[in-house]
């Protein structure tokens, strides 16, 4: 199990944010295209999270497929997830298994991601296909919750643009 502490920064200008990160000394980690399949069970052990199959295609030609259960453990200031991840080798077979267990696909979405590292924290700039989510945002994964204010200040981010909402919650908010 991996523990993830994160926030999202909404309303970003992608080029401006990349320039800001690089000017602060951030290092580019990777660039990838992803297809994400999100399953949101409504009862049982999975009621406090969701399952995701992520198919990643990296700029160096490598590919990876993972199944992750994200268990929510949120606070008001940051999002905390316990993540349980395994590598799989077939999206269709795993989707079929989940379907036979009564776990249906909520949505499928494609995104482009550029990842950076700054002060040992990870920054993912995500641009989803317009149907999944229309606006780019940056996800910041922290190794230490004490770094949140420091990093937000370094980037000069308006705290009104910082959220703990998941992509599913952001999508729901757009519908309302």
| Residue 124 structure tokens | 């993912």
Residues shown for the chain: 176
Backbone angles phi, psi at 134, to 5 degrees: -75, -20
For residue 83, the enclosing domain spans 2-175
- pLDDT tens digits, one per residue of 89-117: 999 999 999 999 888 899 999 999 999 99
Number of structural domains in the chain: 1
User: Residue 124's domain is classified under what CATH number?
Assistant: 2.40.320.10
Higher pLDDT: 157 or 74? It is 157
Dist CA 157 CA 24 (whole Å): 14
Residue 39 near residue 106 (C-beta atoms within 8 A): yes
pTM of the predicted model over 0.75: yes
Element (H, E) at 93: helix 91-100
- pLDDT tens digits, one per residue of 20-75: 999 999 999 999 999 999 997 766 666 678 899 999 999 999 999 999 998 877 66
């Amino acid at each position: 199990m991996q523990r993830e502490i994160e926030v999202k920064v909404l309303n970003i200008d992608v080029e401006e944010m990349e320039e800001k990160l690089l000017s602060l000394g951030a290092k580019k980690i990777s660039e990838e295209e992803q297809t994400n399949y999100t399953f949101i069970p409504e009862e049982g052990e999975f009621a406090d999270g969701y399952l995701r199959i992520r198919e990643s295609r990296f700029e160096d030609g490598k590919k990876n497929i993972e199944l992750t259960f994200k268990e929510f453990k949120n606070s008001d200031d940051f999002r905390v997830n316990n993540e349980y991840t395994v590598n799989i080798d077939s999206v269709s077979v795993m989707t079929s298994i989940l379907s036979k267990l009564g776990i249906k696909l909520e949505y499928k979405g494609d995104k482009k991601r550029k990842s950076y590292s700054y002060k040992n924290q990870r920054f993912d700039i995500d641009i989803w296909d317009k149907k999944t989510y229309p606006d780019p945002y940056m996800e910041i994964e922290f190794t230490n919750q004490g770094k949140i204010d420091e990093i937000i200040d370094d980037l000069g981010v308006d705290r009104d643009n910082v959220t703990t909402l998941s992509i599913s919650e952001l999508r729901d908010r757009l519908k309302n």
